[in-house]
Amino acid sequence: VLRDVLYGSVGAQYTWNERITTGVSYDIRQAALASARTPQEGTAYLNYKFSDRWSANVYGTAGFSPNSPSAGGGVAIVLRGF
């Protein structure tokens, strides 16, 4: 039986200049199954703004419990305002 869960997240971000921003976050939530372990994950990212419309976000994630992904990451390319 699945249950309602509590979720929490805390993070920090630093803007180096008008083009570069970095940040980290930590997420924790109750498991949806009473018998499962509590998922906990951390994420770090770097965002680079190429122009007013284009930016790229590179991120990595690490899990700190058996119910979290071991590791992950990716790149998001963003186009603002068509």
User: Is the per-residue pLDDT at 82 higher than 90?
Assistant: no
Helices (H), 1-82: none
- For residue range 23-72, list pLDDT tens digits in order: 999 999 988 888 888 899 999 999 999 999 999 999 999 999 988 889 99
Could you tell me the pTM of the whole model?
0.83
Contacts of 7 (CB under 8 A, 6+ apart): 27, 28, 29, 30
Estimate to the nearest angstrom the gap between the alpha carbon of 51 and the chain centroid. 23
